[in-house]
A and B are shown apart, each in its own frame.
Chain A
């Protein structure tokens, strides 16, 4: 069966809230009912029919064509099925996602995968600041699932992450993995300054190190740990590059000793 397809007519005048366009919310709806769904974020009403050309299909497979960075909250609280976005997207994509698969072929804005609980979220381009992070006032960020960013990410990726795995195949901005509570953040290339700032628990892996490491991380030596091999086996279906990195000897730094200090940063050895 063909996917249910939304094709953007033109770049909208206002930011749109696409959180209603998820498989479990659209199940059982008629084309007319879907076209009447409100998407506006201002006082000016903007329905699905105003923004998109709709082609009905399997609601378990949603495709959004011609997307742009004004489309926010895509895949928010998504429980199952699949969403494929052709183009860039706005803020908070995949926020509180609880299952299914969300794929973005372009770039994602800030707070992608914020508070994500389960499922798989792949971003083929870059992601903005605070990937997987909590919104202001929230205690924990990402709580489960797998996020793979093929490009680079902005600052504070994985901030206050509680569980789950983030793989960044490009570079990460400053404070990657800041305030992490647990979980795993893998950056294949270089990270910006001060990764693992106030890291309590959790694992950060840096393929090309970072521009500045906090002095509150203690060098524990170089290892080829079984846990990394196991993680490599688990991560390989999502990112071959990350799996290759994890199978190499890594130097372990324990920290952040400024807080609980039971976290760790692994850095690939250059020699």
Chain B
């Protein structure tokens, strides 16, 4: 069963997503370019919790008026399956990718009832020369480095209400058209606050299913959506389809994920089937694994 909206088929199905732990950071630098560079480095190799430990990406860019030190910055979101793993990933990534970046500073990007250690964990790099600064409820560490000081907030907030794995499967007749649809959807999702699309450019072409014929492999290719296997497996693709691209969305709240998926669907429908995707589907596990269900028909523009 599917609906047709402006020529684009919308499957009557839902995306199934999971609860996650998440945090946010604000990274600033002397220029927007260096702030972005630190954020990109920090969020590299963070596409999927399956192999990277966390999923991370840039939420938005900030002007000097929106950051704690008046310099241009970037807000970064990190998602993991447990608080311990999130703490580990946060600490390692900020230490190796933000502390090392010229002119950078790092601040909490989220207020939560629970906190994760940020500067409180990194301050030891100062080897005794680190300086603690408090102003009201704010607590920062100044760590001497070779270009001056690395300023880092002591803690950042943690949310246990985050959602990971919201998704859209964009199905098209040609690869360029499907890619164009995916790019339009990612651009629309980027405007939604509190969400990231963690895969390269926001798009994943290697959608997976749970399990494998091989022992010890937790996930394997989603053969039902591989066009080249259409004649060989129980395919979910109709004749004429040559490309499927997936967009995965993580959000600090379930509402944010829903809003992002809605924006993505609207962008794909606006593009139409001739220039973009002919069909929109979503991945799920029959509704038995993830508590968050996003029905495509409820997200139509």
Contacts and interface: CB of A to CB of B under 8 A. Distances in A.
Do A and B come from the same complex?
A: yes
Contacts of A227: 131, 133, 140, 142, 149, 151
Which bracket fits the contact residues of A?
20 to 34
Interface in B205-223: none
A231 B135 contact: yes
Interface in A54-89: none
B71 A226 contact: yes
Contacts of B255: none
Contacts of A16: none
Interface string B55-80: 00000000000001111000000000
Which bracket fits the contact residues of B?
20 to 34
A76 B69 CA distance: 34
A10 interface: no
Contacts of A146: 135-136
A165 interface: yes
Contacts of B28: 226
Contacts, number: 51
A262 B129 contact: yes
B115 interface: no
Contacts of A235: 135
Interface in B89-112: 103, 105
A113 to B, nearest CB: 16
B151 A230 contact: yes
A146 B133 CA distance: 13
Contact of A230 (B68, B132, B136): B68
B105 A226 contact: yes
Interface string A241-267: 000000000000000000000101000
Contacts of A264: 131
A230 B69 contact: yes
A271 to B, nearest CB: 20
A229 B131 contact: no
B90 to A, nearest CB: 20
Nearest to B107: A230
Given A227-B151, A234-B136, A235-B135, 15 more contacts: A144-B134, A182-B132, A184-B135, A226-B69, A226-B71, A226-B148, A226-B151, A227-B140, A230-B69, A231-B133, A233-B69, A233-B70, A234-B138, A262-B131, A264-B131
